[in-house]
């Protein structure tokens, strides 16, 4: 099956999963998933599975990405904070649906490769940095939307503080020993509310950066 045929199959699968927003489907079509997976897995790029991308990280199933983005309720005037850019696949889709994406990734190598892909696709409304996602991006806050691509035991206070009035955050909540729940966090009139949406399995949201631990080890020698 050609890549074009595989992409058509994926769009049909997303529709069957309840993703009917034509703008989201168009953004998925414009984001070639084969570009965001290692060459070893190129023939599985459009399978509905998570795939390894290095550093113990994965690119999420397309249906999970699409459902989380749909839950954000985006428009082209919105500024989005993305925690966990990974390979840049979700970042690319987001960039077609909002005004600007601010993306944070812990792993410098992953972010470098993601940035190269996004530049190749001319996704110039993305600003990305290496950083600790649990701390968010206070210099650019507040954000109308926040999306987190790793599971936290509870919603980080820093991210709640950076959520704009009327804003929405989509984040997996739960540990690795039980089901996690995609949770919609909203701020209305200064009040934070949380609604559980559906169960998932994500890697954990980890504080700090790998570079920080290396620096600490060198300093303690």
**HEC sequence for 117-168:** HHHHCCCCCEEEEECCHHHCCHHHCCEEEEEECCEECCCCHHHHHCEEEEEE
C-beta contacts of 187-190 below 8 A and 24+ residues apart: 187/160, 187/163, 189/165, 190/165
Q: Which residue of the set 60, 92, 95, 149 is catalytic?
A: 60
* C-alpha to C-alpha distance for 177 and 183, rounded to whole angstroms: 18
- Beta strand 51-54 with 79-83: parallel, antiparallel or unpaired? unpaired
Question: Would you call 191 helix, strand, or coil by DSSP?
Answer: strand
Q: Would you call 87 a catalytic residue per the annotation?
A: no
Catalytic center residues: 60
């Amino acid at each position: 099956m050609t890549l074009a045929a595989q992409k058509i199959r994926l769009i049909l699968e997303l529709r069957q999963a309840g993703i009917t927003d034509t703008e989201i489907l168009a953004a998925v079509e414009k984001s070639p998933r084969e570009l965001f997976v290692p060459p070893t897995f190129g023939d599985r790029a459009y399978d509905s599975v998570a795939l390894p991308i290095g550093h113990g990280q994965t690119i999420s199933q397309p249906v999970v990405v699409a459902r989380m983005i749909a839950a954000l309720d985006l428009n082209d005037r919105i500024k989005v904070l993305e925690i966990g850019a990974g390979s840049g696949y979700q970042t690319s889709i987001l960039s077609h649906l909002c005004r600007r994406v601010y993306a944070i990734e812990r792993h410098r190598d992953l972010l470098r490769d993601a940035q190269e892909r996004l530049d190749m696709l001319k996704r110039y409304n993305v600003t990305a940095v290496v950083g600790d996602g649990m701390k968010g991006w206070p210099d650019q806050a507040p954000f109308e939307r926040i999306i987190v691509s790793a599971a936290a035991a509870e919603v980080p206070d820093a991210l709640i503080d950076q959520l704009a009035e009327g804003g929405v955050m989509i984040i997996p909540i739960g540990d690795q020993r039980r089901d996690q729940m995609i949770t919609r966090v909203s701020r209305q009139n200064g009040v934070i509310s949380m609604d559980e949406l559906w169960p998932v399995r994500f890697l954990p949201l980890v504080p700090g950066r790998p570079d920080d631990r290396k620096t600490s080890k060198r300093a303690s020698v």
